[in-house]
Amino acid sequence: MTQPNPLQARFDPLYQASRQHTDVPWPLRQQRLQQLARMVREHRHAIADAIHADFGNRSRHETDLLEIFPTLAGIRHALKHGKQWMQPRKVATDWWFWPAHNRILPQPLGVVGIIAPWNYPLFLTTGPLIAALVAGNRALVKTSEHAPAFGQWLAHTVPQYFAADELAIIEGDADVAAAFSALPFDHLLFTGSTAVGRLVMRAAAANLTPVTLELGGKSPTLILDDADLDQAVARVMSGKLVNAGQTCIAPDYVLLPPALQAAFIEKARAWVAQHYPNLAANRDYSHIINPTQLARLQGYLQQAAAAGAEIVPLVPDATNQNAGNSTLLPPHIVCNTPAHSPLMQEEIFGPLLPLVPYQQLDEALEYIRARPRPLALYVFGKAQAQIDHVLRNTVSGGVSVNDTLFHVAQENLPFGGVGASGMGAYHGRTGFDTFSHLKPIFTQAKRNGMGLLAPPYGKTFAAILKILLR
C-alpha cells in the first residue's frame, strides 16, 4: 500500500485554491498581510524566545531590530503601495499599430515555495512571504532544521492566522528540503549556501519552476585612503558582529591601505570593548548556531595560523571565552592570511575578519573582480569620484556606501545576488513583480489599418512596407 506523501498533502490545497481563485482582490491581499503583521506583533516575545533557544544565546534586541522591525516595516510598505502595484499598467504602443493600445495586467503566479535559512529565521521567511502575499499568491514555507524551536513555533502558530489553502509550514531535514524543491511550485525562493542553491535549482528545473536564489559569498569591504577610519571601523565591526557574523551580507574581509592596518586593529579592539564588554556574560553578543558551525570556524582559524597568518583576538583572554561547551566565539581579526586558506576561499559566516592590504586602488578592484561576484560590497571614502570609480568597476548584488548591511533594509531597493551570490531579487515593488505574472495585453481598435497589410499584396502594401523598413 502506497504511503501518502505529507508534502503533497500540504501542497495540494494551496495549488487547487490558486487555480480556482486566480483573481485575488486587494481587500483579501490586505487582510492576509494584516494577519501576518498581527501574528508577529502578538507573538513578538515568543519569536525571540524560540530564536534564542536555537542559538543558545541570541540577543533579543537584535531579534527586535533585525527581524521584527523589518518584517513590520515591509508589511507597512506593501499595505501602502500594494493596491497601486496590482493595477493594470499602460505601456506605449508603436505608432504603426495605432489606435490599438497595450497594457500589462499583474496576476498572481499561484503557489510560491519559500525555503528559509536558520540565521534570520523570521525575516528571511517573512521578507519573501510579504512579496508573495501582496502579489496575491499562496505560500508553502520550509523552515530550517537548524532552527527547530523557531520552526516548531511557526508551524504551530500559522494555522491560528491562516487557512491551510493560504499558507502552510513544513519542517524537516535536508531530505525534506530536497523533496520540497521538487514540488511543482509556480515560483521557488531559496535562501542559503551557493552549493545547496545549485541543488535546489536542479530539482526545480524538472518542473520548469522559476527560482530566486539568495545565496552568499565573500562580501568585501573596501576602505579608501581618504576614509574616516573611526567611522569605517565602527560601521564595519557593527555589520560584522551583529548576530556574531552569521549574516549573508556581513563584511567578509577588508581591503585597506597598509598604513591603516595597525590603526584599524586598535580601533576595532576599542569598539568591541565599548559595545561588548564582559563578552562571556554579554547577552547582546549572539552565539554560533551549533557546535558544527563553531568547529568549522575554529578550524578556519587553526588552518590560517598553520599557514602563517597572524591571529589577532579582539577581546582579552579570547581562548577561554567559550568555556563550558558554549558556542560563543569571540571576534578575531586575521592578518597575512594566505589566499589558498579556507578563510579566504569560503564564506566565513562568523566573527572572523581578515584584513587584506592593497597598494593601489586598481589593485584592490582587480582583487574583487578576480573572485566570484559577491552578494554585497561596502566602500568607505570621501571623494565621490573615487567611490563612483569603485561602483563602476565592480559587480555585486548590492552596495552600501560608508556603511554596511543597510541596503537590505530599503524596501524601494531590490535585494538579490548576482552570479554565484544568487539570481533574482525581491523587496518592495521588485518583490511584487517577481511573484506576479505580468500579463501583456494588446487590444485592437475597432477601426484599424491592419487590412492594408493583408494579401493580395499590391502597390499600397509596397508603399507601406517601404515606410516600415526604412
User: Is the per-residue pLDDT at 318 higher than 80?
Assistant: no
Alpha helix segments (H runs only) across 309-438: 342-345, 361-369, 384-392, 428-434
Label the pairing between strands 253-256 and 352-357: parallel
pLDDT class for 19, splitting at 50, 70, 90?
very high
Task: Give 332-360 pLDDT, tens digit per residue.
Answer: 999 999 999 999 999 999 999 999 999 99
Domains, the chain, ordered by start: 6-215+421-440 (3.40.605.10), 220-416 (3.40.309.10)
Residue 189 CB neighbours (<10 A): 30
* Mean pLDDT (the chain, rounded): 95
User: Is the per-residue pLDDT at 25 higher than 60?
Assistant: yes
CA distance linking residue 119 with residue 250, whole number of Å: 12
What pLDDT shows up at residue 106? 97
Nearest CA to 330 out of 363, 311, 352 is that of 352
Q: Which residues of 62-215 form beta strands (DSSP E)?
A: 89-91, 101-108, 111-115, 138-142, 167-170, 187-191, 211-214
Whether 335 is catalytic is no
CA distance linking residue 75 with residue 97, whole number of Å: 41
What pLDDT shows up at residue 1? 44
Tell me the average pLDDT across 192-219: 95
Task: Give 423-437 pLDDT, tens digit per residue.
Answer: 999 999 999 999 999
Question: Which residue in the list 62, 67, 166, 248 is annotated as catalytic?
Answer: 248
Whether 248 is catalytic is yes
Task: Give 443-465 pLDDT, tens digit per residue.
Answer: 999 888 888 888 999 999 999 88
Task: Quote the pTM value.
Answer: 0.94
pLDDT above 70 covers what percent of the chain? 97
3-state secondary structure of 113: strand
Cell 561596502 belongs to 378
User: Is the per-residue pLDDT at 325 higher than 70?
Assistant: no
Question: Which residue in the list 62, 214, 347, 411 is annotated as catalytic?
Answer: 214
